[in-house]
Amino acid sequence: AQSVTQLDSQVPVFEEAPVELRCNYSSSVSVYLFWYVQYPNQGLQLLLKYLSGSTLVKGINGFEAEFNKSQTSFHLRKPSVHISDTAEYFCAVLSEKLVFGKGTKLTVNP
């Protein structure tokens, strides 16, 4: 069965600093990987997805992620964060069903 580990439960950063949110997965079959963002008391919004092809995936709001099969990782990055990026971020793997990590709370401070 597939599973997802998000290594950091909370990540505080200053505005305009770069950020990396880490995600590792385990799956015995081909994987499809996703990052979602959740703002307080809202549903989840898809940031980006990896289905196949280029291992560097670009998403909305300036985020990107790199699929690394040998390290079974799919880390999310942004070169310069804004206050408005403060939210919870979820990594997920899809095989038969979508399985989520426990989330990483990103707090961007002025």
Partner 1 sequence: SQTIHQWPATLVQPVGSPLSLECTVEGTSNPNLYWYRQAAGRGLQLLFYSVGIGQISSEVPQNLSASRPQDRQFILSSKKLLLSDSGFYLCAWAGTGYYGYTFGSGTRLTVV
In this chain, which of 3, 14, 17, 46 binds partner 1, going by CB under 8 A?
Answer: 46
**43 is a site residue for partner 1 (CB under 8 A):** yes
Residue 40, classed as helix, strand or coil, is coil
**34 is a site residue for partner 1 (CB under 8 A):** yes
Tell me the number of residues near partner 1 by CB under 8 A.
22
**Residue placing its CB nearer to partner 1 in the complex, 13 or 44:** 44
> Would you call 6 exposed, middle or buried from its count of C-beta atoms within 10 A (0-12, 13-18, 19+)?
buried
How is residue 57 written in tokens? 């995936």
Measure the CA angle with vertex 71, ends 70 and 73; round to 5°. 120
Find the part of the chain contacting partner 1 (CB under 8 A) among 20-28, 34-42, 60-68, 69-77.
34-42
Smallest distance, partner 1 to C-beta of residue 80, A: 26
CB atoms within 10 A of CB 93: 23
**Residue placing its CB nearer to partner 1 in the complex, 15 or 22:** 22
